[in-house]
Amino acid sequence: MKNIKIRDTGIRFYKEPLAAPFGFKGSYLTDLWQTSAFVSTENGFCAAAPCTISTLWSDERVFSAFGPDNSAEIMKRITEYALGLIKGESFSRPDLFLHEYFPQVKSQADRICGFAPADTFVLNALVGVDYALWSVYAQENGIKDFDGIIPEYAKKALSHRSERLARIPLVSYAVSGDSVRSLLDSGTALMKIKIGHSAGKGMSRAEDMKTMLEWDKARLSEIHSIAKRYTTPLTKDGGVRYYLDANGRYDSPERLEALIDHADKIGALGRIELIEEPFAAENRFDVSALPVVINADESAHSLADVKERIALGYRAAALKPIAKTMSVSFEMAAAVDEAGGEALCADLTVVPLLAEWNKQFAARIAPLHGMNCGVIEINGDQNYKNWAEMGALLPEGLAFDPTPGGCIETPDSFYSDSGVLFCKNGYTEMFI
């Protein structure tokens, strides 16, 4: 492998407004902060990549302690520290490089926060850095497509070639029944439904959990009453599938079982493709007896985490290259594949360029058990006010599919032309 020396680095920090309040983990956001990371090499190659900052998703403790804007500023400082750390250093491959500098970045994050944030929080901060490094790595080594950057250990896990990807739109707390119908009318076959709703402040923990469960039951009933009338060729049984995301809000397997029992009662249990991250990461409940596939997200930010969750009965993992870095996602994909589990590429309400990277990863993962094709979650076009303007920052030759539901076609050219991701983009132009 070629030894690559980093000549210079840079960072930009800005806020993108959302089209409407975005609800998850019992809270609402009205905008999302972004960073752009820049890397240049001694041989004259350069790249820049964005990062969507999500402190509420990556570590709710940081979000609660500092608030939305200050916690975003903290993540930006961590990114800035990492870029300063790697300036002047050399690397052979970005995933190996990440393992070298991550401990120092994590220690800096501990100092800034005053406590140890989750590794996921730090990985979120490193997304733009990691993508910029993979881009200059490809440029330096003359790699012309995405397959060329996949490490040997991950090639089997990413050996599939989907002809299409079913888009997974996000149904957050505020999405209306009419909007659900519009998504289904557009061809949606798998919906990501946010559960774990909170009624607000001033409740005891017990009251909060009771209220949450009743709200989630009612929400599932509402959506199922609409979706059960639709059919789709993209699923094995012809019915629309549900992907429930609790973001760690449930406090016990028994409470989750109550929701599952309700799903069974209303005829929705067979529609549940998976339930994502029902419990907080520190709650290591065994879920092997549950009659649904449990998917790890925030709790799985390393190879060791994936193995631990699989041992607890988790049968799937959300591979978020756009939130946990491409480098770590390669390792996670390999671990899930080795264990015989399932994987999918979930979103973090990221900008179009990161969504395009995510598509390349997702198209190479085997389909979920209930699907006839690959899947990918994309919700940025639903939620960003300036989605079209951000689309103008894509490399020349890339244009994002505006269809909110249905499929993204991935023909041979999708794979052969994937090297366009390594090329100059609008983020690069911010620095040169």
Residue 137 and residue 156 in one domain: no
Residue 235 and residue 358 in one domain: yes
The total number of structural domains that make up the chain: 2
* Residues 156, 146: Cα–Cα separation, whole Å: 14
* Residues 369, 235: Cα–Cα separation, whole Å: 9
Q: Are 90 and 6 in contact (CB under 8 A)?
A: yes
- pLDDT, residue 16, reads 97
Residue 225 and residue 372 in one domain: yes
Nearest to 300 by CA among 335, 349, 273, 272: 335
- pLDDT, residue 169, reads 87
- pLDDT, residue 28, reads 79
Q: Are 381 and 400 in contact (CB under 8 A)?
A: yes
Domain with 381 in it: 152-429
Residue 262 and residue 383 in one domain: yes
- pLDDT, residue 379, reads 86
Cβ-Cβ contacts under 8 Å for 28 (sequence gap 6 or more): 21, 22, 173, 174
Residue 64 and residue 161 in one domain: no
* Residues 248, 27: Cα–Cα separation, whole Å: 13
| CATH number of the domain to which 376 belongs | 3.20.20.120
- pLDDT, residue 1, reads 74
Q: Which of 93, 110, 144 is the last residue of a domain?
A: 144
* Residues 317, 298: Cα–Cα separation, whole Å: 10
* Residues 250, 279: Cα–Cα separation, whole Å: 5
Q: Which of 121, 144, 167 is the last residue of a domain?
A: 144
Give the residues of the chain that fall short of pLDDT 50: none
Place of tokens 């049968």: 315
- pLDDT, residue 387, reads 95
Residue 177 and residue 126 in one domain: no
- pLDDT, residue 404, reads 54
Residue 27 and residue 101 in one domain: yes
Q: Which of 144, 172, 200 is the last residue of a domain?
A: 144
Phi, psi of 12 (to 5 degrees): -125, 150
Segments of 170-267 assigned E as strands: 170-171, 190-194, 241-245
| CATH number of the domain to which 87 belongs | 3.30.390.10
Q: Is 214 exposed, middle or buried (CB count within 10 Å of its CB: 0-12, 13-18, 19+)?
A: middle
- pLDDT, residue 405, reads 63
Beta bridge partners of 8: 40
361-403 confidence digits (pLDDT tens): 999 999 999 999 999 988 898 899 999 999 999 999 898 776 6
- pLDDT, residue 302, reads 73
Phi, psi of 384 (to 5 degrees): -85, 135
Residue 238 DSSP SS3: coil
10-33 confidence digits (pLDDT tens): 999 999 999 988 777 667 789 999
Residue 164 and residue 124 in one domain: no
Strands 190-194 and 241-245: parallel
Residue 54 and residue 159 in one domain: no
Q: Count the neighbouring beta carbons within 10 Å of the beta carbon of residue 319.
A: 28
Radius of gyration of the CA atoms of the chain, in A:
21
